[in-house]
Structure formats: C-alpha cells, structure tokens
C-alpha cells in the first residue's frame, strides 16, 4: 500500500442524515468518525465509559495507553486531513518524531539487526496524548459534545420499523438515560457487543475476518542514563508523499 492509495477526505462525500449522531467510544476510531459526522450533523455526542481528562492520562479502557504508539503514514495522513496542523500540535505537546531507520534498534535473539540506512520517519506519542490533541481540536468545531464516565448499555430500537433510534447509557452516578440519535456509530473496539446484538435482533451478523498472529508483546520502562546521546529530535522534518 502506498500513500497514493489512501483517499483524501472529501466533506461532500458525507450525506445529511439527521440532526444528532452518537459515537460510542472515544478512542482514535471514535474521534475520527465524530470529526467526519460533525460536518453533516448539527449535534454529535461522543460517549466513553472512561473519564476524558484534559491531561494525557492513561485510562482503563485502553490498557496499552502508556505504551508509546507510532503513527504509521496512512494514519498520519488521514488524521492530518481531518485535523490540519495535528502533527505540529502533537510535537508541541511532547510527542517526538523519530527515524525508525536509525533511531530505533531492532534485535533478534540478542543479535542487533543492521540498520536499513533508509530514512523512515514516524511520529510517536502515548495514546492519551494522541487522543488528547484530537479532542482539543474539537473545541473549534461546533455541536460536538463529550460525555466521559458514560457507559453504553444497549441500543434503543424500534422493533416495528427495524430502526435504531438511540442508545441507553449509564452515567457515573448510576443513572440510566436514553440518548436519541439518527445515527449511532459503535467504536468500542474489540469489546463491541454489536455483532451479537444484531444476531439477537434478527439481523445478519457482519462477517468476521480473523488473522491469528503468533506474536507476544513485552515492554519495560527504563530510565535512560544521562550521557547515552542518540536523542531523537522533536523537530525532525517529516518528509511526506505528495505534499500530504
């Protein structure tokens, strides 16, 4: 896949479908979906069961939060399309730009692999920081509301018309309410209940593609000795394909 195959966002491609959309899950998928919906819906409400602080704090809904995350090129281009200036804001807030061709060392069975010599630049940050910079960008977009500490319980469904009309949610104090919506986006990731919900309500379960990866992931935090050098530049210019 090359960057040329990643389509640019075209706001005209989103049709008007109603006044309020609800996005369940305020992770990266939910935030990007909400950004697109905000171009056509008067009100977009994003709910998440975690609190959404104005600080880059780890949160239970994303257990890998505090791990450094790398923005691959397709994701970077898409995020930058939707939130122009995103990567500069990320760097200003403490993210780093690394050259994975020289700043990162790869080992296989204790043997250091040769550096490729090919520059591959990548923005890196913790997940909370990647998300926070996106959430802050919504401040400039009208009609978008965040509700943290809000758990999705079920869809509100009109059995006769076969239409989802909103969601039932529980707030932090345990109160259950309904949020009406013309469109609901499920961005709850791997814990999504929607496939089973569809089957239970007589709809077809979407087909599932599963790729089994026989790979374990282990990380450890270390304190870098003061004089190791090799600092990655937080201002490394990132070359981009086709000006994106």
> Contact positions toward ligand FAD, by CB under 6 A?
24-30, 47-50, 61-62, 64, 67, 69-70, 151-152, 187-191, 217
Nearest to 124 by CA among 104, 148, 154, 149: 104
- Which of 219, 229 has the CB closer to ligand FAD? 219
**Among all chains, which residue has been given the structure tokens 């171009």?**
39
**Min separation Cβ 75 and ligand FAD, Å:** 6
Residue 46 token pair: 């994003």
Residue nearest to ligand FAD (CB): 61
- Which of 173, 227 has the CB closer to ligand FAD? 173
**Min separation Cβ 12 and ligand FAD, Å:** 26
SS3 for the chain, per residue? CCHHHCCCCCHHHCCCCCCEEEEECCCHHHHHHHHHHCCCCCEEEEECCCCCCCCCCCCCCCCCCCCEEEECHHHHHHHHHHCCCHHHHHHHCCCEEEECCCCCCCEECCEECCCCCCCCEEEEEEHHHHHHHHHHHHHHCCCEEEECCCEEEEEEEECCCCEEEEEEEECCCCCEEEEECCEEEECCHHHCCHHHHHHHCCCCCCCCCCCCCCCCCCCCCCCCCCCCCCCCCCCCCCCCHHHC
- Which of 61, 143 has the CB closer to ligand FAD? 61
Q: How far apart are CA 97 and CA 158, in angstroms?
A: 49
**Min separation Cβ 29 and ligand FAD, Å:** 3
Which residues on adjacent β-strands are paired with residue 139?
Answer: none
**Min separation Cβ 49 and ligand FAD, Å:** 4
- Which of 70, 142 has the CB closer to ligand FAD? 70
**Min separation Cβ 239 and ligand FAD, Å:** 20
- Which of 160, 190 has the CB closer to ligand FAD? 190
**Min separation Cβ 155 and ligand FAD, Å:** 12
- Which of 70, 101 has the CB closer to ligand FAD? 70
- Which of 115, 171 has the CB closer to ligand FAD? 171
**Min separation Cβ 127 and ligand FAD, Å:** 6
């Amino acid at each position: 896949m090359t960057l040329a195959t990643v389509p640019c966002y075209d706001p005209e491609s989103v049709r008007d479908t109603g006044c309020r959309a609800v996005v369940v899950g305020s992770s990266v998928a939910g935030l990007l979906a909400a950004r697109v919906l905000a171009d056509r819906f008067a009100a977009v409400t994003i709910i998440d069961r975690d609190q959404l602080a104005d600080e880059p704090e780890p949160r239970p809904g994303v257990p890998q939060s505090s791990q450094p995350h790398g923005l691959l090129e397709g994701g970077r281009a898409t995020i930058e399309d939707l939130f122009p200036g995103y990567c500069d804001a990320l760097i200003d807030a403490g993210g780093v730009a690394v050259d994975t061709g020289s700043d990162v060392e790869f080992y296989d069975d204790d043997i250091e692999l040769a550096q490729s010599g090919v520059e591959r630049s990548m923005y890196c940050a913790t997940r909370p920081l990647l998300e926070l910079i996106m959430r802050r960008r919504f401040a400039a977009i009208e009609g978008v509301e965040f509700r943290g500490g809000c758990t999705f319980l079920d869809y509100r469904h009109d059995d006769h018309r076969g239409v989802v009309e909103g969601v039932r949610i529980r707030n932090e104090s345990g109160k259950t309410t309904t949020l009406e919506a013309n469109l609901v986006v499920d961005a709850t990731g791997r814990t999504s209940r929607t496939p089973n919900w569809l089957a239970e309500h007589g709809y077809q379960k979407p087909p599932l593609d599963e790729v089994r990866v026989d790979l374990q992931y282990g990380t450890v935090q270390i304190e870098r000795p003061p004089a190791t050098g090799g600092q990655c530049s937080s201002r490394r210019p990132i070359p981009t394909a086709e000006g994106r």
